[in-house]
Amino acid sequence: MKRRQGWLFFIILLLTLSLYLLINNPLQLGLDLKGGSQLTLQIIKKEGNVTNDELEAVNAVIDRRVNNLGVSESNLQTLGGDQLILELPGEQNPLAASRALGRTALLEFRTQKEGTSEDLKELDFQKSKIEELIKIYSSAEKNLDGNDFLISIQDRLKEIEQKLNYSANSKDLYGKLIEIKKYVDKEIINLFIKTDLSGKDLINAGRRQEQTNNNWEVLLTFSNSGGDKFADITKSIAGTNKLLAIILDGESISEASVGSQFANTGITGGLATISGSFTAEDAKELEVALKGGSLPLPIEIVETNTIGAQLGSNNILKSLYAAFGGLVFVGIFMIFNYRFLGFVSVLSLVLYGFFNLAIYSLIPVTLTLPGISGLILSIGMAVDANILIFERIRDELQKGNTLTRSIDSGFQRANSSIVDGHITTLVSCFVLFLLGTNFVKGFAATLGIGVLISLFTSLNCSKTILRFFTTYQSLRQKNLYLPRNNFNN
Amino acid sequence: MKLINLEIVKNKRKIISFSSFLILLSLLGILYSTFNTSYKKPINLGMDFVGGNELRIERLCVDKCSDISPDTVLENLREVSKNKKILNSIKFQFQNNNKLISIRTPYLSIEESNNLITNLEKIIGPLNYESKDSRLIGPKLGKRLLTNCVTSLLVSLLAISLYITIRFDRKYALYALIALFHDLLIVFGIFSWLGIILSVEVNSLFAVSLLTIAGYSVNDTVVIFDRIRENLGSRNEGYNETIQLSVNESFRRTTFTSITTLIPLLTLSLFGSYSLFWFSLSLSLGIIVGSYSSILLAPSLLLKD
């Protein structure tokens, strides 16, 4: 008896520990349970395979950008050598995030070529016209059927095309507008000469609201060598009519002249601002992209999967309640069939539940739908173990053995079935965990943990609790253990 | 106390022919589904596995986007679209203050999906094409998931049979595996038929349910084999009689276990969310078939003529 009391103490200790763990580390729910976005990013490399180093580099950049986005508990994993899976819990509109993440963010600084002022003026004028057209087209809601409206846009587009001596190949109007804009961007960049200052020389980026209006500007901080380069470049064009262009992913986002007062030293201090009349959202996206550094290879977001908070968690919660209600029924079933033994098994299953959840929060295991499925199966197995034992105890009691002896040999005889059943499941869990994708892993993890704990609770906790209760004389009557009709036999 | 006395020795033929009949029916469904229905697959694979289009696009609105119900959009689309077939299985959703439209469709060619967008624009106003996100939902990912599920399932079955061979006998391992394949095949077949008749699609949760059924079925069978092995060692009755006795001794346990596992699953399919309905249904079916095969089929196979 002493040994059992030791176990009882141990179990109570474990229970306290589990409760403590659960209160301090609440369970982590997967995206499919609490809603959020999952993005699959494909690294694009035209020739050859993506090497491990490149994968790592892309991973690092994306990781930094995600951190700068400020999404809590995001999760980034590589998949199959050329893909990344990014989970953004709670994010319901991944478009903004994907804009900031997917951007290559290649930042260049270029100085204007000699004698191109007129060309630049003209191109900038056409650029503003095409941008205005895009804006008009975009802001017109529901009016697109109005033919006059479309014709006027088309006419104005034709005018621009004539000026540029270039005609767009896209079929739809919007595509044409975008194509022309890209062409203008390319032409503008061609008027500038590359310098050796680039996004690599940045150590930080920030944003602030301009004082004079509501626009935002993005602040760049260069490294020491970058600051020197910036000073050299600004020195070379200071006081001339040549402009400095800041180019992001092939589009000039800012063109500025440098005053003659900088002719001797250039702009020193290693700071620059880009004021391209950004909105707050634009400025943040740019800041995030620049802070993370530019991507060594372009990426494309090949899959976005958003589980809405309503679609996801509400329905799933409903399901969890349903499953929990089902477990209560199981308890009633067990008590109805096995009477006092059923009560013991309910106690041991409650322990089982707490131990499981505590381990989830300890490791931690993120709870997903496959994970819950594994948990349900493992609960089934834990109940099964109890049933196996109780059936044996009943057999022994019916043979006329004493209660203590029946309990002992019941546990002993059920032992091998339980162990065999549990180990076969454990073996397959092990394999599934090793080979499976995340999806399968979640299932294997909860099932495996459940099976291990079930070995302990069924074989040990049930026995300890039963032994504890049977020390009370009033709980030792056989009719607490056998259905009444047995006494007629 | 015996609830029932199962005469498996007498009924061995019937049991095996019943199982063969079920397997035949399942194979029929699988074959019919592969060769004769529109999707040419052994089972109606859902978007998780074959991919489908999910289009997400933002609307360009000045301040606030107007409120439009998905049904109205669908009705209007029906009037303007040439290919009306696509519209039968299309799903609309407005998110982010009606700004973001997400559309789920079956597999569409790029042209078809562009047409859809153009038609949509006529109904709800200009769209921001730069925000367009129109691609297949993880066809590659789905395929990876599918092959991964199958290989890990096969390897784990191999490992299980190795364990049973060591603990019991090669014969037991073989029969446990037969019972297991029997269960998986029948559940698979039922869903093939459901796909044909009700066009029920299977998603990745179905794969998980198959894994779960496999685990459950093996556990169930092993417990009965364990009883058989124990009784064969301790009793002096004939081989076949001992097996029958063991089955009857385990009968209560197996049915009770099935009932206790079925209860939460049934409440799940009745009161849980719709997305889990087919999942809990396939689990329930698997458990019923699994109990049957553990109690009757696997021991019958062990019997000597």
Rounded to a whole number of angstroms, the CA Rg of chain A reads 35
Alpha helices in chain B (DSSP H): 12-35, 47-50, 70-80, 110-124, 139-167, 170-198, 204-234, 239-271, 277-292, 298-302
Which pLDDT value is given to residue B182?
Answer: 94
Tell me if B95 and A370 make a contact (CB, 8 A cut-off): no
- The CA-CA-CA angle for residues A482, A488, A489, to 5°, reads 90
Contacts of A172 in chain B (CB under 8 A): 118
Two tokens, residue A264: 């001797």
Q: How many CB atoms lie within 10 A of CB A329?
A: 15
Q: What is the pLDDT of residues A210-242, one digit of tens each?
A: 777 778 888 888 888 888 998 888 888 888 888
Measured distance CA(B62)–CA(A136) in Å, rounded: 11
CB–CB of A94/A75 below 8 Å? Answer: no
Contacts of B246 in chain A (CB under 8 A): none
User: pLDDT band at residue A31, thresholds of 50, 70 and 90?
Assistant: confident
Contacts of B128 in chain A (CB under 8 A): 138
Residue with more model confidence, B274 or B90:
B90
Give the minimum alpha-carbon distance from B182 to chain A in angstroms, rounded to a whole number. 18
- The pLDDT of residue B82 is above 70: no
> What percentage of residues in chain A have a pLDDT greater than 70?
88
A301 strand-pairing partners? A41
Least confident of A184-188, B134-138, B238-242: B134-138
Tell me if A322 and B271 make a contact (CB, 8 A cut-off): yes
Which pLDDT value is given to residue B235?
Answer: 79
Give, in words, the CATH class of B12-45+140-302. Answer: mainly alpha
Strands A28-29 and A366-367, by their bridges, are parallel
Two tokens, residue B11: 């009924």
Facing B212 at nearest CB: one of A93, A373, A431: A373
> What is the residue extent of each domain of chain B?
12-45+140-302, 52-137
- The CA-CA-CA angle for residues B248, B252, B253, to 5°, reads 110
Measured distance CA(B247)–CA(B235) in Å, rounded: 14
Give the minimum alpha-carbon distance from A71 to chain B in angstroms, rounded to a whole number. 18
From A360, A406, A466, A465, select the one nearest A11 (Cα to Cα): A465
Measured distance CA(B54)–CA(B90) in Å, rounded: 10
Q: What mean pLDDT is predicted for residues B113-139?
A: 66
Facing A93 at nearest CB: one of B96, B136, B222: B96
Q: What mean pLDDT is predicted for residues A456-466?
A: 90
B94 strand-pairing partners? B101
Tell me if B125 and A398 make a contact (CB, 8 A cut-off): no
From B221, B227, B1, select the one nearest A415 (Cα to Cα): B227
- The pLDDT of residue A313 is above 80: no
User: pLDDT band at residue B186, thresholds of 50, 70 and 90?
Assistant: very high
Which pLDDT value is given to residue B48?
Answer: 66
Which pLDDT value is given to residue A488?
Answer: 40
- The pLDDT of residue B129 is above 70: no
Let me know if the fold of B12-45+140-302 is the same as that of B52-137: no
- The pLDDT of residue A184 is above 60: yes
3-class DSSP assignment, residue A241: coil
Tell me if A424 and B160 make a contact (CB, 8 A cut-off): yes
CATH topology of domain B52-137: Alpha-Beta Plaits (3.30.70)
Give the minimum alpha-carbon distance from B296 to chain A in angstroms, rounded to a whole number. 18
Query: Which residues 16-35 of B have a C-beta within 8 angstroms of A?
Result: none
Q: What is the mean pLDDT of chain B?
A: 80
- The pLDDT of residue B99 is above 80: no
Helix (H) or strand (E) holding A288: helix A280-291
Residue found under tokens 């310098």: A195
CB–CB of B103/B54 below 8 Å? Answer: yes
A78 strand-pairing partners? A84
- Cα distance between the two ends of chain B: 29
C-alpha dihedral (A125, A128, A133, A137), degrees to nearest 10 = 180
Which pLDDT value is given to residue A141?
Answer: 47
Measured distance CA(A205)–CA(A272) in Å, rounded: 10
Measured distance CA(A244)–CA(A240) in Å, rounded: 11
From A191, A184, A144, select the one nearest A165 (Cα to Cα): A184
Contacts of B144 in chain A (CB under 8 A): 80, 437
Which pLDDT value is given to residue A142?
Answer: 45
Tell me if B222 and A435 make a contact (CB, 8 A cut-off): no
Phi/psi of residue B200, each to 5°? -80, 130
Tell me if A326 and B167 make a contact (CB, 8 A cut-off): no
Measured distance CA(A442)–CA(A366) in Å, rounded: 8
Which pLDDT value is given to residue A307?
Answer: 63
Measured distance CA(B55)–CA(B28) in Å, rounded: 36
C-alpha dihedral (A60, A66, A70, A73), degrees to nearest 10 = -90
CB–CB of B51/B214 below 8 Å? Answer: no
Q: What mean pLDDT is predicted for residues B126-146?
A: 59
Q: What is the mean pLDDT of chain A?
A: 82
From A266, A487, A32, select the one nearest B1 (Cα to Cα): A487
Facing A440 at nearest CB: one of B152, B216, B219: B152
C-alpha dihedral (B271, B272, B274, B275), degrees to nearest 10 = -160
Which pLDDT value is given to residue A285?
Answer: 79
Which pLDDT value is given to residue B273?
Answer: 65
Query: Which residues 210-269 of B have a C-beta within 8 angstroms of A?
Result: 211-212, 214-216, 218-220, 222-223, 226-227, 230, 249, 252-253, 256-257, 259-261, 263-268
Two tokens, residue B186: 């029948």
Helix (H) or strand (E) holding A108: strand A107-112
Q: By the CB < 8 Å criterion, does B126 face chain A?
A: yes
Two tokens, residue A228: 């020197």
CB–CB of A191/A120 below 8 Å? Answer: yes
Which pLDDT value is given to residue A485?
Answer: 52
Residue of B nearest to A375 (CA): B212
- The pLDDT of residue B135 is above 50: no
Which pLDDT value is given to residue B190?
Answer: 94
From B174, B202, B208, select the one nearest B301 (Cα to Cα): B174
From B206, B211, B201, B204, select the one nearest B151 (Cα to Cα): B211
Measured distance CA(A126)–CA(A289) in Å, rounded: 28
Q: What is the pLDDT of residues A49-106, one digit of tens each?
A: 888 888 888 888 888 888 777 766 677 777 777 888 888 877 766 667 777 777 777 8
Helix (H) or strand (E) holding B132: strand B127-136
- The pLDDT of residue B230 is above 80: yes
Residue of B nearest to A302 (CA): B135
Q: How many CB atoms lie within 10 A of CB A99?
A: 18
From A136, A110, A122, A99, select the one nearest A251 (Cα to Cα): A110
User: Of A112-121, A132-141, B2-11, B71-80, which one has max mean pLDDT?
Assistant: A112-121
- Mutate which of B99, B116, B223, B294 to disrupt the A interface (most A C-beta within 10 Å)? B223
- Report the amino acid identity of residue A42: Q
Give the minimum alpha-carbon distance from B35 to chain A in angstroms, rounded to a whole number. 30
Residue of A nearest to B260 (CA): A330
Phi/psi-derived region of residue A239, left when phi > 0, alpha when psi is between -120 and 50, beta in every other case: left
Residue found under tokens 């909105």: A279
Which pLDDT value is given to residue A347?
Answer: 92
Facing A326 at nearest CB: one of B56, B215, B263: B263
Which pLDDT value is given to residue B150?
Answer: 80
Which pLDDT value is given to residue B134?
Answer: 47
Tell me A72's DSSP state: T
- The pLDDT of residue B245 is above 50: yes
Q: What is the pLDDT of residues A191-201, one digit of tens each?
A: 999 888 888 88
From B247, B215, B172, B189, select the one nearest B15 (Cα to Cα): B247
Which pLDDT value is given to residue B192?
Answer: 92
Instruction: Judge residue A121's burial from the number of C-beta atoms within 10 Å of its C-beta, 0-12 exposed, 13-18 middle, 19 or more buried.
Output: exposed
Measured distance CA(A88)–CA(A101) in Å, rounded: 12
B58 strand-pairing partners? B100, B128
Which pLDDT value is given to residue B189?
Answer: 94
Q: What mean pLDDT is predicted for residues B124-142?
A: 59
- The pLDDT of residue A489 is above 50: no
ω into A364 cis (within 30 of 0): yes
Measured distance CA(B262)–CA(A280) in Å, rounded: 55
Tell me if B222 and A420 make a contact (CB, 8 A cut-off): yes
